[in-house]
Chains A and B, each alone.
Chain A
């Protein structure tokens, strides 16, 4: 636990030691703003809620979160620090969890910095703040799931660009798997259970479920199990690939 905290602190400080943190936060906020106000028609809708804001989060995450996760292990492998890191008296799970939590916490900081949207909507009207809170939680959970996928992919390569592209592609597939785009591929030949299974796997489905204001255990369990599964794979992959 102590080691997790030490690794967490080092990793989190690492984000702020380079311009990455600031670039990421600024771009995240600007893009969230553009999508909310121009694409989501925040004002024209005339409703005091943050739905146009949260609707675009999954798509923002497809592009932006892989930029956070790509360096997690790929950078350690490229620079050789992985040899130093993994010969310290720590367990693999501590290493994986410490790194992941730092990235997740950083995503949480970026998300928390969108609070002006919340202030704006409260100034303009009387939104359901419970729904907004649930939506924030959904968004953060989804960010965590995407980060876990990204951490896992990052462990497979020394090349951050490859880590970015592969993560973005995989996360895109996981996000749209419930949408008509992907389901169209299955319809007509795949059995009903498979289609339902694919739909169930979708980030988007579980994300939208929570943003409606109800934190259902099933959605919670879904996101947490995605994180655990990918982090588990992450630990195994680091072990297998570290020597390459």
Chain B
């Protein structure tokens, strides 16, 4: 449904987006991850036709955004960064305006507005000027606007920013419910959000795509993938740590102290499961294990590793 072909955007000498290509098909929700200034928003602005790419293009449901902008934009629902909306309008008037621009009028407009208002739960603020609304409500009005025409392609730039945990949960539920019929791109820097709603994630830094895969695949790249967290009665003594480190499948053992108390994290060699070896060892030595947990891997580790490997963006890039 959405095909991004070699998008490049230069601002003067700065290359903000450098040859980004990917496709998103129906039923997919793509998490767009990257540090601030990585080029996420710039890429989204090009896909939605706000910025003209320096080269490359985006095809939305068969319409080229460069040559058929109006037709392409009809297929897109877009929540721009910061969820801008006209501050002196009420959500009611604002959604009515969007409905008319999207080609709905009369009963059809009313029906569609009613549907999104109920879905996004903004009925109680429909008659207050948008400038008086809380950040969470403004964000929701922005999302309602993007969903009004039931678009095939949904592009959301930080849809849950400013929402409280309950609202975040609701928003993720809405996005997940819509996923089967749509192609969705969500930019975020909340990694738990990617795990919660995205079927695929792309990590981008300094304008380049550095990783592309399902959240699970990406998490498997983490050194925490298949690592085992062990707690023992009576704490951990150095001998136990040494014995565990000596196991053939173990790469390293590190002490941890977290909300679960003191314990050890055993990192496996090459990401292979190592829990059985540890259990056998503990049984043989008669250690009393109070908890034993295999970790799936941490997306934030992978994110840090991948993006930190890149040199820091220059001050100009950060400002842009």
Contacts and interface: CB of A to CB of B under 8 A. Distances in A.
Interface string A1-41: 01100110110011001100000000000000000000000
B93 A13 contact: yes
Contact of B84 (A80, A88, A91): A80
Interface string B89-108: 10001000110111100000
Given A13-B93, A87-B49, A242-B50, A81 B88 contact: no
B100 A86 contact: no
A55 to B, nearest CB: 36
Interface stretch (B74-82, B207-215, B231-239, B241-249): B74-82
A89 B80 contact: no
Contacts of B93: 10, 13
Contacts of B70: 89-91
B85 A81 contact: yes
Contact of B80 (A6, A13, A83, A91): A83
A146 B97 CA distance: 28
A221 interface: no
B97 A10 contact: yes
Contact of B88 (A3, A14, A86, A89): A14
Nearest to B74: A89
Interface in A214-231: none
B97 A80 contact: no
A87 B82 contact: no
Interface in B253-299: none
Contacts of B78: 84, 87
B101 A6 contact: yes
Contacts of A9: 97
Contacts of A17: 88-89, 129
Residue from A7, A17, A81, A89 with most neighbouring chain B CB atoms (10 Å):
A89
B223 interface: no
A81 B87 CA distance: 9
Of the four ranges (under 10, 10 to 19, 20 to 34, 35 or more), the interface on chain A belongs to 20 to 34
B145 A89 contact: no
A6 B11 CA distance: 34
Given A6-B100, A88-B101, A80 B49 contact: no
Interface in B155-209: none
Residue from A3, A88, A242 with most neighbouring chain B CB atoms (10 Å):
A88
Of the four ranges (under 10, 10 to 19, 20 to 34, 35 or more), the interface on chain B belongs to 20 to 34
A193 B102 CA distance: 51
B89 to A, nearest CB: 7
Contacts, number: 71
Residue from B88, B89, B129 with most neighbouring chain A CB atoms (10 Å):
B88
Interface in A87-108: 87-91
Contacts of A90: 70, 101
A84 B145 CA distance: 10
A119 B283 CA distance: 105
B307 to A, nearest CB: 25
Nearest to A88: B101
A190 interface: no
Given A6-B100, A243-B51, A87 B80 contact: yes
Given A3-B101, A10-B97, A88 B73 contact: yes
Contacts of B81: 80, 83
A117 to B, nearest CB: 32
A75 B156 CA distance: 23
Nearest to B149: A89
Interface in A57-94: 79-81, 83-84, 86-91
A89 B11 CA distance: 26
Contacts of B11: 243
A7 B87 CA distance: 16
Nearest to B42: A243
Contact of A88 (B45, B82, B98): B98
Contacts of A7: 101
A164 to B, nearest CB: 19
Contacts of A243: 11, 45, 50-51
Contact of A6 (B97, B129, B145): B97
Residue from B81, B89, B93, B97 with most neighbouring chain A CB atoms (10 Å):
B97
Given A2-B103, A10-B93, A88-B102, 7 more contacts: A7-B101, A10-B86, A10-B89, A17-B129, A88-B101, A89-B73, A243-B45
Interface of A: 2-3, 6-7, 9-10, 13-14, 17-18, 79-81, 83-84, 86-91, 242-243
The 3 A-B residue pairs whose C-beta atoms are closest, nearest first, are A80-B84, A89-B73, A83-B80
Interface of B: 11, 45, 48-51, 70-71, 73-74, 76, 78, 80-82, 84-89, 93, 97-98, 100-103, 129, 142, 145
22 contacts: A2-B103, A9-B97, A10-B86, A10-B89, A13-B89, A14-B89, A17-B89, A79-B84, A83-B81, A86-B50, A87-B48, A87-B49, A87-B76, A88-B73, A88-B102, A89-B70, A89-B73, A89-B74, A90-B101, A242-B51, A243-B45, A243-B51
